[in-house]
Chain A
């Protein structure tokens, strides 16, 4: 199990791998989008422009399947950004990994700051009485394999959904908490928060599990010759499957986001 490189900065715990991967993901997505829209043409679009238009139309289709497209149009750019961000993030962890190992508390520093997660781990291992405490830190991974990141995205959707519900559809929005009877209020409340949790955790768990299995296969590869031979087809299969999972999860995240938005924006439709 790899640790995250967390440093203390002004009382805040900053996860450096998350920061790094977020920057890389954002940069890749932005460069991709910028390349696609570099030489825009109405009549003779380039291949990459066509691809980007295909992505946009794909998200458009998801929005129209969830709600009236006129109402969903403002979320088109958000949906496209979301699907590209999550897909690129999911893919990044599949290419390679950067892992550093620490045996010594004094060596576990970055930019002159101690990596607190490593020192804590070494301390607990030491307390358990291990002679050679050992910690591994993953620097390069999918940003979406971190629960903090996926919950951040889910939280963004949650805030948008409930803000829109409270502002644009106030009466129906507050009424629906007490439907069909006022007794159901706690259940409805729990439902809303369970939506938030499942939205974030679904993405995290799928990607994280994929990376854990890749780590396990790599461990098998380094264990013995037979394991190394065996690990090659296994890794190929699992990498391919992970690409599939990554694409599906990005798709599901955006579909659910549009469904949640439509549920509050289009709420009065459900009543009659």
Chain B
């Protein structure tokens, strides 16, 4: 073992020069590249995270929208069901009213006709009874208004009694 201290000094000088050269020309740029890559990876991870969160939010939103649409559809069906049943009831009601009205009309008509017929019959009966009476008592009963009224009154009494 032969220790030459000059070798130590030469080694130190050589190593320090190598260190300086490497730091300046090789490691400096390489470290910055590695740092950039780290930055890039972190950025991409962040982006992926953000995208994932967005996607989750979208899915949630879509779910809610679907739920909403379902609810809306249900409501519409329910509403239309109610409307149709109400309409049906209305129509039935309307028809019932119409029928009642028609029936009442018909009754009234019948009553009118009956009254008319009664009236007509009464006047004819009056005339006929006057004629019969004049025939019976011989032309003494004139067909004037006073006698007609008398007959009418009499007939009314008869009709009212019957």
Please report A residues at the B interface, Cβ cutoff 8 Å. 4, 6, 12-15, 18-19, 22-23, 26, 29-30, 33-34, 36-37, 40-43, 45, 49, 52-53, 56, 76-78, 80-81, 85, 117, 143, 146-149, 151-153, 155-156
Question: In the docked arrangement, what's the CA distance between A148 and B5, Å?
Answer: 6
Q: Are the C-beta atoms of B30 and A53 separated by less than 8 Å?
A: yes
What residues on B are CB-neighbors of A155 within 8 Å?
Answer: 8, 12
Residue positions of B touching A, CB distance < 8 A: 1-12, 14-19, 21-23, 25-27, 29-31, 33-34, 36-37, 40
Chain A residue with Cβ nearest B1: A147
Choose from A18, A26, A30, A33 the contact partner of B7 (Cβ within 8 Å).
Answer: A18
A85 to B34, CA, bound (A): 22
CA distance A85 to B21 in the complex (A): 13
Docked Cα-Cα span, A149 to B6, in Å, equals 9
In the complex formed, the residue of B with least CB distance to A159 is B12
For B11, the chain A residues whose CB sits under 8 A away are: 18, 22, 143, 148-149, 152-153
Between A and B, 19 residue pairs with Cβ closer than 8 Å are A4-B2, A13-B4, A18-B7, A26-B14, A26-B18, A29-B22, A33-B22, A33-B25, A33-B27, A37-B27, A37-B29, A41-B33, A42-B37, A52-B26, A52-B30, A77-B22, A81-B23, A81-B27, A152-B11
How many A-B residue pairs have C-beta atoms within 8 angstroms? Tell me: 116
Residue of B nearest to A27 (CB): B18
- Collect the chain B residues with CB atoms within 8 Å of residue A52's CB: 26, 30
Report whether A77 and B9 are in contact in the complex, using a CB–CB cutoff of 8 Å.
no
Is B18 touching A30 in the complex (CB atoms < 8 A)? yes
B-side contacts of A156, CB under 8 Å: 12, 15-16
Taking a contact as CB atoms under 8 Å apart, the answer to whether A152 and B40 are in contact is no
Q: How far is the CA of A37 from the CA of B26 in the complex (A)?
A: 6
Report chain B residues within 8 Å CB of A149: 7-8, 11
Q: Is the CB of B33 within 8 A of A146?
A: no
Docked pose: A53 CA to B27 CA in angstroms:
10
B9 / chain A contacts, CB cutoff of 8 Å: 152
Q: Which residues of A contact B4 (CB under 8 A)?
A: 4, 6, 13, 15, 18, 146, 148
- A30-B21, A42-B33 given; A77·B10 CB < 8 A: no
- A4 CB contacts on chain B under 8 angstroms: 2, 4
A26 contacts across to B, CB distance below 8 A: 14-15, 17-18
| Contact, CB under 8 Å: A36 / B22 | no
Q: Are A56 and B34 in contact (CB under 8 A)?
A: yes
Query: Could you tell me the distance between the alpha carbons of A75 and B7 in the complex, rounded to whole angstroms?
Result: 24
Give chain A nearest CB distance to B11 CB in angstroms. Answer: 3
Known contacts A4-B2, A53-B34, A29 near B18 by CB under 8 Å: yes
Quick check: A85 and B30 within 8 Å, CB to CB? no
A40/B33 in contact, CB under 8 A: yes
Give A23 to B4 CA distance when docked, in angstroms: 18
A33, B14: Cβ atoms under 8 Å?
no
Nearest CB in chain A to that of B23: its residue: A77
List of B residues within 8 angstroms of A33 by Cβ: 22, 25-27
CA distance A85 to B26 in the complex (A): 14
Residue of A nearest to B7 (CB): A148
A229 to chain B, nearest CB (A): 33
Could you tell me the distance between the alpha carbons of A244 and B5 in the complex, rounded to whole angstroms?
29
B6 touches A12 (CB 8 A): yes
Task: List A contacts of B18 (CB < 8 A).
Answer: 26, 29-30, 81, 85
CB A32 to nearest CB in B, in angstroms, measures 9
Please, which residue of chain A has its CB at the minimum distance from the CB of B35? A42
B34 to chain A, nearest CB (A): 6
For A23, list chain B residues within 8 Å (CB). Answer: 14
Chain A minimum-CB-distance residue to B21: A30
Excluding A23-B14, A151-B8, 8 further A-B contacts by CB distance (< 8 Å) are A18-B4, A19-B10, A26-B14, A26-B17, A81-B22, A85-B18, A117-B2, A147-B1
